[in-house]
Structure 1
């Protein structure tokens, strides 16, 4: 079984990161966390998100 490679929606991303929804929305809006669109849905590639968080922590 393949592991999940993306997260759909801001709420799921906030849960994944353990952050408040408003913090996630602000970081996406400011371009810190990369977002992609699939139709009307926001999706977040887990590898890209993990790389951003790793860079911030270092």
Structure 2
């Protein structure tokens, strides 16, 4: 796992076609803007965990 510190306005690039930019940071809250191709599925962590827990229960 790579851990980076970024300030609002700064970004990271993943591969050639995904950009993750910090757009707001205050009081421990963070907002990210993710620019990726439409065929790349983006899922919030809590949703991903819930989907995988349900998959294991079946």
User: Which protein shows a greater Rg?
Assistant: 2
More helix by share: 1
Structure number with higher relative contact order (C-alpha < 8 Å, ≥ 6 residues apart): 1
- TM-score where L is the length of structure 1: 0.29
